[in-house]
Structure 1
Amino acid sequence: MDKILVHEDKQLDELALAFSAVVLALSGHLVQEIHARVSQQGFEDLRPAHGFVFARISVGDATTATLAEHPGVTKQAAAQLVEELVRKGYVARHPHPHDARARLLRLTEAGWAATRAADQAARAAVATWQETLGEARFGELVADLTRLTPPGPIRPAW
């Protein structure tokens, strides 16, 4: 009986490792596919990291400090990303109504255009997944993964 339990535990452990490897591979592939498609739509000056910045800024009340918390980077790294996106015309700084030292960050029209391009690219990138799995199974997969996903902005809010 103990051999069966050890065998089942080992199978579960291997399955968990396989799951993490598959999810990481799919995630990396999806990010690269979205990035390639966004670049093809005229946003060659953006990098995948910018999408995470756009996602946090789009939900509102974003500052460089709150932006640093979203992808888990330093305030200095967040400030460099913000400066780059301001310089490229995707983000604008506005006075903070309650903190004179902070600046609220907002997407410009170009920033919103890039997020719309990313949404279109994401839909196109997973279209083959939908075809492969079928509509019902794809819906179940989305529901399952949604239950496992931590809270917080993953994509820009409309």
Structure 2
Amino acid sequence: MSLTASLLTAATVLVDDIHSGVAARGYTDIRPTHGFVFSRLSEAGATVTEVAEHLGVTRQAASQIVDELVAKGYVERRPHPSDARARLVVLTERGVRCTWAAEDAAVDALESWEDILGEQRLLAMRDELVRLAPNGPLRPAW
């Protein structure tokens, strides 16, 4: 398998394992894409336009995803603190708890990687990947 295919396959396996772990923790009504939205919102929220840029999708597609997450109680829209024309999308308490579940699921998912590679090689791989892609973006591989 080529390096490209191996990296993409590993990323897919990791996303699938995290998603399964999140579902096992009771969050069965979300999709992996939602986790990428949560990662963008976790700091201080974002506008729908910023979510669209983060995901690499149209504003309309991002708006549909946000509408879905609002309906499920994971995010809410608030007035933007510095732009009266914009709305800020932020995580609700349920959304924050879901991100914690995802963090725990990620730790669990990487345990098998550590079993295979060992702690030092896994950390070295992380360090090298950070060197290659230091600033993301963290988005689905559509």
Shifted more, 82-91 versus 54-63: the winner is: 54-63
Alignment of 1:54-65 (within 5 A): 54-65=38-49
Larger radius of gyration: 1
Stretches of structure 2 lacking an aligned partner (at least 5 in a row) = none
* Equivalent pairs, count: 139
- Percent identity between the aligned chains? 50
Stretches of structure 1 lacking an aligned partner (at least 5 in a row) = 1-16
Preserved contact between residue 91 and residue 111 of structure 1 (Cα < 8 Å): yes
Partner residue of 1:97?
A: 81
Partner residue of 2:26?
A: 42
Partner residue of 1:141?
A: 125
Preserved contact between residue 91 and residue 107 of structure 1 (Cα < 8 Å): yes
Structure 1 counterpart of 2:65, from 76, 81, 86? 81
Matched, 1:21 2:5: yes
Q: Which amino acid aligns with 1:22?
A: S
Partner residue of 2:54?
A: 70
Structure 1 counterpart of 2:116, from 124, 132, 135? 132
Q: Distance in 2 between matches of 1:51 and 1:119?
A: 10
Q: Distance in 1 between matches of 2:30 and 2:134?
A: 25
Q: Matched residue of 1:89: which SS?
A: coil
Q: Which amino acid aligns with 1:129?
A: W
Deviation at 1:92, TM superposition (A): 1.1
Q: Matched residue of 1:70: which SS?
A: helix
TM-score of the two chains, using structure 1 as the length reference: 0.83
TM-score of the two chains, using structure 2 as the length reference: 0.92
Q: Return closer, same or farther for 1:54/1:153 CA change in 2, 3 Å cut-off.
A: farther
Preserved contact between residue 56 and residue 153 of structure 1 (Cα < 8 Å): no
Q: Distance in 1 between matches of 2:8 and 2:136?
A: 19
Q: Which amino acid aligns with 2:62?
A: A
Deviation at 1:141, TM superposition (A): 0.8
